[in-house]
Structure 1
């Protein structure tokens, strides 16, 4: 059996702007997805026993997708299996990342699958090759609407500054509290909404994206200085965020990812993480702690 795991991600700033070439700042987090592959003669089977994916077992030879969760998970794994012409295998997915929540769950799965399946097929890829292939496959599955941000963070880990180039940043870990709204978002739909508005108001959006890029650049030294107060000032606010900045005492909070549901993130204030997590629960969200700047894809087991 060969097992690889890859981290989810949080984008601090620049989610929509990066699609149009502006700068985004993101980091890998300590929630991961793992993919295990082993020989299984006569079939190609993908299984999950993880609560986030609600559990399923699927024989890809039948071509049947039993649920939206099965479809979500298997589209990416199927693309990797086809890329390496892998047959007679069983693939098992485990994930601590909620699906469609803006935390890079699909990228974590595809990156972990690329490493695990390629190694099982006795093909050793460099991190650069894993990142490039994973981005191509994620873009293929998402009908061309994807940025390299999520797959790059899942591959390399740490922090990355993303624009026309992807540059690693040497920054210390940053502790956050994440609040999941429980409402899955559709990245493609949200990106399309922004792109339509950009076409209608190109000059306005050029200025907006430039401003977002400037915020991303300003954020990096604040993380380096562990300046949570000023970093919090750069964050936007929305409904669940109000609870965090009020009763929760957050230094700053914002939606992460494409929006339209998914997750918000907050920097804990002097009252600490537990107060913040309680405020999120009371506002109807699902809170959990996350640490940015974590390790990228890694081989967990090979035998």
Structure 2
């Protein structure tokens, strides 16, 4: 594909039914070792609009984040993220002191801690100020937020050593922060026995949790991700936890799309780093200006149009195929009940084109994104930015082979 050869950085991806949070537990001496992985994601349709109550559609991709955790009695907490250049050490006694400062009122055992209450304490331990918002600082802060949260529930929690590796790049809209928060949340909730050991068989001899405990993981991960991205919709944490392809609307039940064609996509890295929180704030400011200054219905109309695109995409991708060859598959099998036809491709390809233009109208485009779109359009392919925009990644559906 010419877009890949031009040095943009491209991958072919596929949505997989088994692409959910997975865990493998191995016993080592003298402590337990927990290995957890979660998939990345791409937002197919609905980014930004989903923050304001509209529908979004997203799917996991076969690029994952991996976390290894084991407990230690040496009283030191280790966090290693070699791909981000992060090597941090803290004393467990400092975490326990922080926990003692927290208000000991009644709380839901499964609820994540209050961000406003815990984050200032986590910043103090981490040694970061509010104006330090680099990837390394935010990753450390999210980890400490989750650690303080579980330590509050489990006062005798041992120190932990955590190593994180990424198979997907950061800051390009592929859900690296969501997968990171999901893996860390799952590992810490597991070691603190807030959730039980996983009992549901997943792919590749791994295990995962019941829907009830996956929801607990999602809630904690979503709270931690809000710390990283500001006003997060929760979509990334949802997809990285549950996998598959799903529609999401704030306050509504997650709807998995189970009748998908065998979707394949091309991912293109624009090589332009962007800050999700900054892009979200940009759109928020534009909406605020529209509501109170000049054109109150315009931005809202863009959100409504994006919502309509998401809902049309759900109808197109999830429509049943009446076929004698239809079969029943287990939850973890990769399967397709629709043929990926040129008709389906043409429909979603056009939806991508329109949705991308609407995102540009919101002000989250970039000249490099325009260049990539122009290049692929020569071949009848209409890519769309995925995630916050302002750079990052684009995706395009590939034509049926």
Contact between 1:44 and 1:88, CA under 8 Å: does it hold in 2? yes
User: Partner residue of 1:153?
Assistant: 239
Provide the residue aligned with 2:100 in structure 1: none
Stretches of structure 1 lacking an aligned partner (at least 5 in a row): 273-303
Q: Are positions 1:206 and 2:277 aligned together?
A: no
- Which of the numbers 79, 83, 87 marks the counterpart of 1:46? 79
Q: Give the CA deviation at 1:68.
A: 4.2
> Over residues 160-198 of structure 1, what are the superposed CA-to-partner deviations in whole Å (9 max), with x where a residue is unaligned?
211131322214242111111122211111111111111
Say which is worse superposed, 156-165 or 104-113, in terms of deviation: 156-165
Q: What is the deviation of 1:111?
A: 0.5
1:167 aligned partner: 255
Aligned with residue 388 of structure 2, among 258, 261, 265:
258
Q: Give the CA RMSD over aligned residues.
A: 2.3
Partner of 1:240: 372
Q: Residue 268 of structure 2 aligns to a residue in which SS?
A: strand
TM-score by length of 2: 0.62
Note the alpha carbon deviations across 1:208-229, whole angstroms, 9 max, x for none.
Answer: 1111111001112333453112
- Greater share of strand: 1
Q: Give the structure 2 partner of residue 216 of structure 1.
A: 310
Give distance in 2, aligned partners of 1:171 and 1:71: 41
Cα distance between partner residues in 2 of 1:189 and 1:63: 23
Match of 1:71 among 137, 143, 156: 137
Larger radius of gyration: 2
Residues 250 and 269 of structure 1 are in contact (CA less than 8 Å); yes or no, is this contact kept in structure 2?
Answer: no
Q: Which residue of 1 aligns with 2:348?
A: 231
C-alpha displacement of 1:256 = 0.6
Taking structure 1 as reference, are residues 58 and 67 closer, same or farther at Cα in structure 2, changes over 3 Å only?
Answer: farther
Cα deviations by residue, 1:19-53 (Å, 9 ceiling, x for unpaired): 11111111111111111111232211111233xx2
Secondary structure of 1:133 counterpart: helix
Retained in 1: the 8 A contact 2:54–2:303? yes
Q: For residues 250 and 171 of structure 1, do their structure 2 counterparts lie closer, same or farther at Cα, with a shift above 3 Å needed?
A: farther
Asked if structure 2 preserves the Cα contact closer than 8 Å seen for 1:21 and 1:163, the reply is yes
1:3 alignment partner, one of 35, 38, 60? 35
1:252/1:131 Cα in 2 relative to 1: closer, same or farther (>3 Å)?
same
Give, in angstroms, the shift of residue 64 of structure 1: 5.9
Query: Match for 1:58 among 59, 69, 88?
Result: 88
Between the aligned partners of 1:82 and 1:206, the Cα distance in structure 2 is: 39
Partner Cα separation in structure 1 for residue 140 and residue 267 of structure 2: 26
The answer to whether the Cα contact below 8 Å between 2:126 and 2:141 also exists between their aligned partners in 1 is no
Go from structure 1 to structure 2 and tell me whether the alpha carbon gap of 1:250 and 1:58 turns closer, same or farther (over 3 Å shift).
farther
Give the TM-score, by structure 1 length.
0.80
Q: Which runs of 4+ in 1 moved over 3 A?
A: 60-69, 140-143
| Distance in 1 between residues matched to 2:304 and 2:133, nearest whole Å | 41
**Structure 2 gap segments, 5+ residues each:** 1-32, 92-124, 152-156, 197-212, 291-295, 319-337, 357-369
